[in-house]
Amino acid sequence: MGRKRSRIVVAALAALALSGGKAAADGINGYVDFTYTSASGKTEDSSGLSSDSKTDSFVQRYSLTLDRHLYPNLGVLAGGLFERNGTTQNTNSQEIDTTTTRVKPFVNVGLRTPLYQLEGGYDRNEIETKTAAVAAVTQVNTMVNENYFATLGWKPVGYPAATFRFFRTNTYDKGRLFQDTTDDRFQLDSEFRPTPAVQLRYTGLYEDKSDHIGRNEARTLSNDGRISYSDQFWKKRISLSSDYYLTYTQTEIVNSGVGEVSFSLSPLAGLSAITDTPTDVALAPNPALIDGNLTGSTGLNLGLPPPGGDTRPRDIGLDFVNETRVNTLLVWVDRDLRPEIAGAFSWDVYTSSDNRTWLLRQTVFPATFGPFQTRFEIRFADVTARFVKVVTKPLSPTVPFASDFPNILVTELQAVLRRPAAEVQGKTSLTSHRYSLNARARILDAPSLYYEFSSLLLKSGASPFRYDFSNGLSLSHRFDPVFSGTARVAREDGRQPAGARVAYLYSASVTAVPLETLRHSLVYSGRRETIADQNTENDSFFLLNTAQLYPGVDASLGLGKSFDTAATGVSTDSTVVNAGMTLVPHSTMTVNLSFSDTTRKSSGGNLAEEKSDSTRTGEVSVAYTPLRTLYLFAAFAKQAATGTASTTTFNYALTWSPFPDGTLHFGFNYNETLHLENNEKDRTITPNLRWNITRGSYLELTYQDLTNDAPTQKTRTRVSTGNLHIAF
């Protein structure tokens, strides 16, 4: 009955499109899309045993959207998507036919003025999957996700603004046998700025999650208030900012002891990095990871890198401030993914106590993706830590259809604790306070001397009270047109879960620019820290030199030395050498050379003997564009690390687009990677032809030949795709 109603909605919109005349047609658009794909694969191991597979699929999509303004302030947005995917998969003469039908109607009605907003809507996503094997047994599974929402907004000028939202989400299988859940949310947001320097915010949320099959219900009531202040005084010589957050959350669990109950966790900060050393890296703050925006990019791309692009793993993490128990991470991305793409990602779960040294806890492969929400669900064994992260590599060109996904942008990272329903019952409450104060005062103009103060006070539930205070002086001065310098000294006092904390921080730098093409900088940083009578020390020096030797010849050389003493008494001396050169012999060619060497020696403390390890990496790459339509790339890289086998990699790539203008486009991409250490070769050949019929309509034909040739196994996959897209 639900699918019938959905089709009636789409049919009604189509009738409206045909009968509404020119004025209505201006607000109607849609598309028809047909895609046929044929993929064949063969895998053969070193003993001669082979496995063959063949997959044929035909996807048809019909989309229609109506956007009408019935009155100046009253608008209607409605439409629907109908999609059917028929797939036949044959593996070693075993055939499986699968038909997936998706129906997605939606309607949104909104009344908007500068003073108020009244909006409501409904959308439904129904996916029916029919699977038939050789035994003539057909399995039918229908999943439904439907959403109701309403919004009432009030924004008077000079007075508090308020927005009330209601959401209801029902998720169930058609027979309501395996899944049947309802999530109701009532949310009130209010904001008021009584003066330019003061901002008041409040968010109230009541959420009722019901599992009708497991007879579990979780009711959550939360109140979140924030007061912010920011201003400058005395001709901007003094800057002052302050924030106070108060959060009260009450959760009531009513259950039958069957199934699981999920608890959303609230981290203090989002963190990220792109690095080859996930076990030894300090992740940088990334506020966009926890801002609640499920569509905005966080700057992390998991899509297929271009030739010569950054293929290093992406680190995506959270800081909970206190040690927190967690067993699920949700990584949201900005688009829906094919099963072949979503299933290609492997996720390593790490934890840390200091955001520096990370411990690998588990590898999750593959992670669940979708079907109703564009997120990876990474479930792992319970861990308790302050910092947690997942690490994954971007798409490899050998993954089928990878060339269609150059961008897969991470938009949010959420943490969840799932517990058996039998373990949780009754009411729990949590009150959290967070207060921060930051001040900066300019004492001298020349040299520039500032006094800096910052404080952070945290109290969450029964956890110990935590605080951090920092008092520091920073100095910067330009001695002459060539030399300039900076210096900073600070003392930090705080209380950690382990005990009282005192830290002294020092840093200084000198920069010399004798020529416009020559720059030198020497940086020193030091730290002395005591936490609960446990002492740690760190001193580091780094010299960076950059020069343009000639036009088109740029070089850099970095030398670093650091000395660390851990609380255990272990001393580690590290030496880092980085060198690079960029050559542009012609406007069409760029040559990059890079070398890095890191050596560590550890001794003392609880070590029985001195330990040494090193990592050495070198790479040469050439990019050549002899014609506007031709791009050539080649790279050679070698890495050697203590305790692991050295790796040597050759990479070649070619991109050719002989007809960049006009309506007919031909493209050819070739990419080959050789791993000499294990005699493994990956090769990707992708020609494609596209005819732009009209501005929004096209016909595209693509062929992919993907080969992985290793001593133990050889795999070859060939994919042919034809896509006709007609937009109106």
Determine the pLDDT at residue 137.
66
Alpha helices (H) along 209-350: 339-342
Phi, psi of 13 (to 5 degrees): -65, -40
Q: How far apart are CA 443 and CA 447, in angstroms?
A: 9
Contacts of 713 (CB under 8 A, 6+ apart): 43, 44, 45, 46
Label residue 498 by pLDDT band (50, 70, 90): confident
Does the pLDDT value for residue 12 go beyond 50?
no
Query: Residue 15 in 3-state DSSP?
Result: helix
Quote the CATH superfamily of domain 269-423. Galactose-binding domain-like (2.60.120.260)
pTM over 0.95: no
Alpha carbon distance 358, 322 (integer Å): 16
pLDDT tens readout for residues 158-176: 899 999 999 999 999 988 8
The answer to whether residues 436 and 466 touch, using CB atoms and an 8 Å cutoff, is no
Q: Tokens at residue 209, please?
A: 């999650």
In terms of C-beta distances under 8 Å and separation of at least 24 residues, what long-range contacts does 486-491 make, across chains too? 490/452
How many Cα neighbours within 13 Å face the side chain of 320?
A: 25
**Taking the CB of residue 66, how many other CB atoms lie within 10 A of it?**
22
Confidence of residue 134 (pLDDT cuts 50, 70, 90): low
Confidence band of 90 (pLDDT split at 50, 70, 90): confident
Residue 661 is predicted with a pLDDT of 84
Provide the pairing of β-strand 314-333 with 410-420. antiparallel
What number is the average pLDDT over the span 592-614?
90
Q: How far apart are CA 390 and CA 377, in angstroms?
A: 11
pLDDT band at 50 (very low <50, low <70, confident <90, very high): confident
By CB neighbour count within 10 A (0-12 exposed, 13-18 middle, 19+ buried), where does 39 fall? Answer: buried
At residue 133, the 3 state secondary structure works out as: coil
Span 648-667, mean pLDDT?
91
Neighbouring residues of 720: CB distance < 8 A, sequence distance ≥ 6:
37, 38, 39, 701, 702, 703, 704
* CA pair distance 472, 451, nearest whole angstrom: 6
Q: Give the model confidence (pLDDT) of 109-130 as tens digits.
A: 999 999 999 999 999 999 999 9
pLDDT digits (tens, 9 = 90+) for 212-245: 988 888 899 999 999 999 999 998 899 999 999 9
Average the pLDDT over 455-467 and give the result.
86
- The structure tokens listed for 176 are 């309501």
Would you kindly state where each structural domain of the chain is located, as residue ranges?
Answer: 1-150, 269-423
Q: Give the type of residue at 623.
A: A
From CA 712, how far away is CA 715, in angstroms rounded? 10
Three-state SS string over 342-359 comes to HCCCCEEEEEECCCCECE
